[in-house]
Structure 1
Amino acid sequence: MPEELLNYIVFHWVSIIGLLHVSVSFPTAIHVLLYKENERTSLAWIGLVVLSPMLGSLFYWLFGINRIKRSAQKLLPLPHKAEQSYTDNNCDQQHLPENWHSAMVAGLAIHPFSYLAGNRVTSLVNGEEAYPAMINAIHDAKRHIILSSYIFDCDSLGQQFVDALAQAHRRGVTVHVLFDGVGVGYSWRKSDKALKKLGVKTARFLPAISFSSIRFINLRNHRKILCVDGEVAYMGGININKNNLVKSAVHPIDDIHFTVTGPVIDQISQVFVEDWFYATHENIDFPRYVPKTKDTTAPAAVIARVIQDGPDQNYDKIRWTLINALACAQSTVRIMTPYFIPDHTLMTALHGAALRGVSIEIIVPKRSNIPFFDWAIDANIPRIMAHGIRVYRNKRPFDHSKIALIDDIWSFIGSTNWDARSLELNFEINLECYDATLNAQLTEFFTLKKKNAVLVIKSDIEGLPTYKKIRNNFSRLFTPYL
């Protein structure tokens, strides 16, 4: 009997493989049709599933499915979710340009966090400014510290954070540190293990090495959050890595981070509290912001609110926020990002603004840390530059800064890149700000970066050798997966 079965398999192996391929690819394709909202992404997945027997389906089930959205809605208690969610506008918008009033109305419909007045947002350029401020805040902590970082290397710089957090724990401060399940693997020495040995409470968000969570291997918590005592917060794009100390790094990474004070701290801390609950099922009672005596020397004029995004109940919040702001642009749009591979919807919004006569400038690195992204960007540049949009290549080794500035009033800062991973797969946090002074300071930062950048000329891309054009456009096909 076994011999007859073996002979049958040998004789009919082509038909058997074909049947297995159909039996796997057909339900996979149906799942794509039912649960993927983006038509271009759906078509790309179906093509991969059909044209790559078995492998395409395996790739989709590992990387293409989002189970987080339903899980997050079930896990997070409704009373907790409603605690700091708002549906009204708690700030006076009369001093803002009139065209932005409707943007706030739409903004509240997009994401139910109020616009809050009375905040200060201060930029910290590179690790030389960001890390000492963050470590000093940890040393000054009296009650509670929460810290989340996509990458927390246990290098010489990371060890300073480990020591500061451990010292805070020893003097009685409550400390919670959240690591991304994939990002923690960037360092061969694990910072979470070092902290655990010193008694500091840590957790991993979607641990990649767990057999029960391998289905989440393509989802990352990309947020960078530090809140201390409900009094000060730090957020932006900087990971904890010695390469951000650009003056001494072998492979320097430019970046920008921000100090935040004011009532919006409560929204920042809530994002961490929700992430910690998702990872541990444990609630954190983090201190709420308490206004202090008014400081007349440094007016807290920034109207701000948090925009959180991820493949959960907050899916697409950042994309819609950007589209809403671009629709209000009247004079200038300035974008700085390490990866600029926007989808068709965002690109249409940018082109629509350019057609209205809005000046649009985009700064990307001349060379990022991922060549595949650079090739995809090169393939897209002729399309991006349509209708007068100007693209600049920053000549610095690698600039990881992320800011978006519109007109002289609106600023968007945080952890989000302009690519499919950030906008669809990652858990991100950004701050939407209205303030002319902050916008002017960041515009100065943008202008300084532009002085070290080269304007991309369309002929430079069109004059590339044919093999590079093929490579670049082949890379562009995979942008839905990047």
Structure 2
Amino acid sequence: MNPHSLLAALPGFAIAPHAIQVLPDAAAYRTCLLERIASATRRIVIVALYLQQDEAGQEVLDALYQAKARRPSLEITVVVDWFRARRGLLGAGRQPGNAAWYQAQRELHGLDVVIHGVPVQTRELFGVLHLKGSVIDDCVLYTGASLNNVYLHRFERYRLDRYHLFDCPALADAMVDVVQRLLHHTATPRLDLPDAPPTRRLRGDIRRLRARLRRMLYDAPAATPGQGLRVIPLLGVGRGNPLNRTVCALLAAAESQVIISTPYFNPPRLVMREIDQALARGVNVELIVGHRTANDFYIAPGEPFSASGALPYLYEDNLRGFARRRQAAIASGQLQVRIWNDPGHTFHAKGVWVDLRYSLLTGNNLNPRGFNLDLENGLLIDDPHGQWLAPRAQELAGLRRHAPLLTSAAQLGEKAEHPKQVTKLLRRLRYSRLEPLIKRVL
């Protein structure tokens, strides 16, 4: 099937332009989330990589318990990654993890705010719950953000993401349905209750869960000729899944413009091939990538170093090599590379825009891990008649605000300028020939 036919055949939901709202920043999202929780009357389903024990996380969990206390019939389910909830922060030593906090909060309030942990693989290294999209009554709140101080801009620092609201009951029902089918009484244990089983006891259930996930799809109406604005939900885990195929089809279908935003520049071969083929067709390609200091793994000079602190430099090396090999396209303006950097803040916005028709929202980092290991999803906005161009352009302008154009790969500096600890670690990876494997699981 050619890419245009594949995209035209995707099932999705008709939606009015005014039913899709774009929030401008993390602070606006935090305000909206808390207001929607407070006004919920029927159901709340929160889906995130993690709900962190900090001030912003406490604010969200307090809001959920307060909503439940006001309306006992309100159904509240929180879904987070199993492994992330049961360990501490990277580089912070041994910690009990957020699960202990969930249990303490349940004991304190005595109310049924259900929190499930989802193990997508038997080890965190090989796959996590990267599903996005929460539902409050009939509204879908779609963002790549997790729930903590920096993602919600609780204090001085923020991590920029994308924030969309869809007032579409049918889409909300479809996304809740997938969450309900995802949850399993043994494979996705409750984290708010004591005595959660060790992961080793779940291994068989996890393997069966992953096999079931590979077959799972959103339930959406079939496409019909002549449809207007639609939103298309996509689910993906493992190679060749519907989300991966759609990303590649979008890039292959591009006729005039492709825009890709990712905080971590480590494209899988399929995506790199489609980028190069788009350039060969004469398509204008724009990349929006976070500066190494805007990476959430960045460790500032003088702070204790850990191995994860080398990741921003590895991503920068990838981008430098990519830009050098395509310097002619950069010089002609056909390839635009933007480096997002608002000092003191971090960047986490992901997505694909093609021509003036398609806008893909996703938590997928468009890297080998997202394409092969994690449980991912996305919402594709198909706008064949240009009904939603103004909000689209406004969001892109916001993403470009702190992202000046790169005029040459030389602006990214040289590997020789890396801190000594980073240089030593990356050299060891290359000499041990582990670098390709490491890139596949980052």
TM normalised by structure 1 equals 0.66
1:434 correspondence with 2:382: yes
Within 5 A, what are the aligned runs for 1:177-216? Answer: 177-184=78-85, 185-186=87-88, 188-190=97-99, 191-197=101-107, 198=109, 199=111, 200-206=113-119, 214-215=122-123
Over residues 12-47 of structure 1, what are the superposed CA-to-partner deviations in whole Å (9 max), with x where a residue is unaligned?
xxxxxxxxxxxxxxxxxxxxxxxxxxxxxxxxxxxx
Work out the CA distance in 2 between the residues paired with 1:448 and 1:227.
25
Work out the CA distance in 1 between the residues paired with 2:115 and 2:401.
42
Work out the CA distance in 2 between the residues paired with 1:476 and 1:331.
35
> Contact (CA 8 Å) 2:4, 2:249: kept in 1 or not?
no
Alignment match, 1:295: none
Work out the CA distance in 1 between the residues paired with 2:240 and 2:116.
23
Out of 227, 250, 254, the position equivalent to 1:325 is 250
Q: Secondary structure at the match of 1:196?
A: helix
Alignment match, 1:390: 336
> Contact (CA 8 Å) 1:182, 1:217: kept in 2 or not?
no
Work out the CA distance in 2 between the residues paired with 1:347 and 1:334.
13
* Residue type of the alignment partner of 2:362: G
Work out the CA distance in 1 between the residues paired with 2:82 and 2:411.
40
Work out the CA distance in 1 between the residues paired with 2:409 and 2:290.
17
Structure with greater proportional helix content: 1
Alignment match, 2:356: 408
Work out the CA distance in 2 between the residues paired with 1:359 and 1:406.
10
Q: Secondary structure at the match of 2:36?
A: helix
Q: Secondary structure at the match of 2:370?
A: helix
Over residues 262-285 of structure 1, what are the superposed CA-to-partner deviations in whole Å (9 max), with x where a residue is unaligned?
232233222212222352599xxx
CA distance 1:130–1:105, shift in 2 (3 Å): same
CA drift of 1:258 comes to: 1.2
Work out the CA distance in 1 between the residues paired with 2:51 and 2:280.
43
Work out the CA distance in 2 between the residues paired with 1:406 and 1:427.
24
Higher relative contact order (CA 8 A, sep 6+): 2
Out of 307, 312, 316, the position equivalent to 1:374 is 312
Within 5 A, what are the aligned runs for 1:463-474? Answer: 463-465=414-416, 471=426, 474=430
Which shows bigger deviation, 411-420 or 181-190? 181-190
Work out the CA distance in 1 between the residues paired with 2:402 and 2:124.
39
Alignment match, 1:49: none
* Residue type of the alignment partner of 1:302: L
Which shows bigger deviation, 321-330 or 367-376? 367-376
Work out the CA distance in 2 between the residues paired with 1:177 and 1:244.
17
Over residues 288-316 of structure 1, what are the superposed CA-to-partner deviations in whole Å (9 max), with x where a residue is unaligned?
99xxxxxxxxxx963111111123xx853
CA distance 1:214–1:328, shift in 2 (3 Å): closer
Alignment match, 1:351: 276
Work out the CA distance in 2 between the residues paired with 1:216 and 1:465.
33
CA drift of 1:108 comes to: 7.3
Alignment match, 1:21: none
> Contact (CA 8 Å) 1:379, 1:469: kept in 2 or not?
no
CA distance 1:168–1:104, shift in 2 (3 Å): farther
> Contact (CA 8 Å) 1:405, 1:439: kept in 2 or not?
no
1:134 correspondence with 2:134: no
CA distance 1:439–1:390, shift in 2 (3 Å): same
Q: Secondary structure at the match of 2:126?
A: coil
Which shows bigger deviation, 443-452 or 255-264? 443-452
TM normalised by structure 2 equals 0.71
Over residues 440-478 of structure 1, what are the superposed CA-to-partner deviations in whole Å (9 max), with x where a residue is unaligned?
423333234334223331234575428788948938532
Identity of aligned residues (%): 19
What residue ranges of structure 1 are gaps of 5+ in the alignment?
A: 1-100, 208-212, 283-287, 290-299
* Residue type of the alignment partner of 1:348: R
Alignment match, 2:231: 304
Alignment match, 1:227: 135
Work out the CA distance in 2 between the residues paired with 1:421 and 1:121.
29
CA drift of 1:176 comes to: 1.4
Work out the CA distance in 1 between the residues paired with 2:394 and 2:231.
20
> Contact (CA 8 Å) 1:340, 1:419: kept in 2 or not?
yes
* Residue type of the alignment partner of 1:395: N
Q: Which has the larger radius of gyration?
A: 1
Work out the CA distance in 1 between the residues paired with 2:336 and 2:149.
33
> Contact (CA 8 Å) 1:410, 1:439: kept in 2 or not?
no
Q: How many residue pairs are counted as aligned between the two chains?
A: 355
CA drift of 1:201 comes to: 1.7
Out of 285, 288, 292, the position equivalent to 1:360 is 285
CA drift of 1:399 comes to: 1.0
> Contact (CA 8 Å) 2:55, 2:154: kept in 1 or not?
no
Work out the CA distance in 2 between the residues paired with 1:204 and 1:318.
23
CA distance 1:205–1:463, shift in 2 (3 Å): closer
> Contact (CA 8 Å) 1:336, 1:362: kept in 2 or not?
yes
Alignment match, 1:105: 5
Q: Secondary structure at the match of 1:326?
A: helix
Q: Secondary structure at the match of 1:179?
A: strand
Work out the CA distance in 2 between the residues paired with 1:407 and 1:302.
15
* Residue type of the alignment partner of 2:128: R
Alignment match, 2:144: 237
